[in-house]
Structure 1
Amino acid sequence: MGRRTGNGTRALLTLALAAAVTGCTAGEDTADARGTAARRTHGKDSAGGFAVQYRTGDKAARATDYLRSRRILEKAADRLNDTVKVPHRIPFVVRSCGAPEPAYDPDTGAVDFCVEHVDEIRDRVAHAGRAAVPRGGADAHVAAVLEETAYHEGAHALIDRLKLHFTGREEDVADQFAAVMLIDQGGAGDAKALAAAADYALSAEESPIDETDLLDEHSLDGQRAANYACYVYGAHPARHEGLVGDGGQVTEDRAESCPEEWTQARNGWQQLLVGRLKHHV
């Protein structure tokens, strides 16, 4: 999942955080209603599906308290369970990993959700500058980025545990799943996807590209930022005209293909999960 390198723009953070202030408070509509109606127990009673486990000590209290108080992973697990029938137990294990590198572990069948990643995202936003962080926006931004992490790593888990056959690079396919899970939430989900794009853009600014980054299994962070913005625009072009052109995050040439890119991402996952979807994504 790591946000490492690429080319980005700080303007994207400003736009995403502004959207998060209005969108994340007003539009937790479709998926949140499903989560409330079908709330799951995140303990030992669940035989299958996604669950949450906390395995942290006092040194990780800051990150753990942040996750627990906002139920970020619990809500993500609910949405995943409300979307996909999973016969296997797939826990998000919150723990100290020694590095901010959350990942699905095929050996354990669990997602290691690293507290270092939580701290990294919170610190990145804190250092972004007051001008880039509207009042009340930073917290919504961080929560959105962590939710995107959960869906991305959840996609890796689904691919492994359900033996899904896909084309392309798995990391790109996982990003597409995360985008679908976010944008499916309506206006609030658009804001969350743009927050994820903004974080990738900020991560890209932090480190120059070197040759090893070109060999990595992930796309460059700047590319991932552009892809998320493209999916948001492609899903609702009329709603997001401001993303295109000068001052936007999608070039006019790329914008022409964004609706098709979004449709391919969404339909691709619908096909992968045929027979396992509880509702269409």
Structure 2
Amino acid sequence: MLDFLSALFFPPGINIVLLVLGFIVHHRWKWTGRLIMVLGIVSLYLFSTQAIGDRMLFNLQKYPAFNKDIFLNNHLDKNTAIVVLGGGRRRLAPEYDKEDIINPMTMERLRYATILSKTYKLPLLLSGGEPDNEATPEAVLMNQFVVEELHQAVPFLEAKSKNTRQSAKNAVDILKQNNISNVILVTHAWHMKRAFAYFQATGVNVYAAPMGFVPRKPFFSSKLKPFYPSAIGLLHSQLAIKEYAAYWWNPAKTPIKETREDNLQQKSQQPPQQQEITTDEK
């Protein structure tokens, strides 16, 4: 039921709803119906452009890229783990004997996290459950990819969560049992704001390691191309609107006590020159 409502209230579902509603209303209130249909068509076009979709994703990007200075200044060589959030799966992939595999978004996160793990000699925790309770948990699929294709050991798996909030709680519970109090969090830059808030609310020290940045000014072969309707533009708009909705609908609870150390670590992650991401880095 939730998936059905989500399909209706996010692009392109909401646009189709407006068109149908406008058509129905048009029979009784002519101009009102026309206005609703025009709104549906115009909004569908706007959401289908990268000019809109990319800008909405860019505005979600709060944290700069992780770097060696953050690692050294916060002494993250001890009691630290890298937590990677799952980004979805491909179900019943024909080329893999109809087995589930992780999707490209998850692969990107795992590749970057593995680089961090090898660079800083830190353990990985992979987080991802199975929302439908019917298939292999995503964390298990992630582990297969990291071990078999990236040749990296994975000491911790969190395979019971159904959403980002649960990932934060379950992952931190596992880490605390292993005396780990520092988390380097890996997810897409546009997802980091909400994910960071959930992890921070658990009381651990969190350091953002975002990846997959959407640049402020993407390169296009033509000045008009950002305004062409496209599937990628619609996907970016959908991702952004869902992220905004989830952030406001299910906000993280503020930690009970914010220490001076917490304030210092946030400042170390966001130097004045990087508080707003303005680079063209992908």
Same fold (TM > 0.5): no
Say which structure, 1 or 2, has more relative contact order (CA 8 Å, 6+ apart).
Answer: 1
Task: From the two aligned structures, give the one with the greater helix fraction.
Answer: 1
Of Structure 1 and Structure 2, the greater strand share is in: 2
TM (norm. structure 1) is: 0.30
Which structure's CA Rg is the greater one? 2
